[in-house]
Chain A
């Protein structure tokens, strides 16, 4: 193998370092996150008081209901809830 080949392979290998472990872990947990999103939306559809609380202060009302939210979940939930308005 020539020096150029080695450099090229090395460059390509270096091009894909691992993504941060915490990001990968969160991505793997997305099915569970999605399940919680569905639960929240269903409850918001059925419970007017919960729905009002979500629209008033999303993060606080989720925490009060026992959900641990993250920015991805909040963005997805805002999008889903906007369809209820």
Chain B
């Protein structure tokens, strides 16, 4: 999928293989939220286990990018690496109590939701700076109207209406670029 900066996942993979440090950093920025969410939301790993798996996934990705057969399949490949790393960690026995708590059917639902969330996130990244900043601060950083207003230098009384307008733009952006995800109008 094309990203806000116009770089597709396949192009990013190619640049990483060429040893471009900035490309690797972009790959980490693009997928760190997604990988983190799989680890802590789908598999409920915590603390050091979560951090170890997070780093192991990126290490394996870095070492094995050359073996990726379809460069466009970067996202599902990273998701698979993350799932396997989480399962290995749970099986290792250090967190058996967590392993018993993980519901396999719940994992599939969570992974499907995170795929949708990533499509929405990519839509968010394509929005203008103001909208991207306001929606990110409000929804993913849990900041108050006052905090957002102070940070962005806009009256806090206008934040709610700006959020509403920006959500409209986000919905339109998603519908235009990825009409299948999520089907907000059909719900």
Contacts and interface: CB of A to CB of B under 8 A. Distances in A.
Contacts, number: 111
A15 B185 CA distance: 20
B55 A27 contact: yes
A24 interface: yes
A9 B120 contact: yes
B37 A15 contact: yes
A13 B62 contact: no
Interface residues of B, number: 45
Given A15-B41, A72-B52, A9 B32 contact: no
What's the interface size class on A, roughly? Answer: 20 to 34
A57 interface: no
B79 interface: no
A30 to B, nearest CB: 5
B59 A76 contact: yes
Contacts of B136: 13
B171 A1 contact: yes
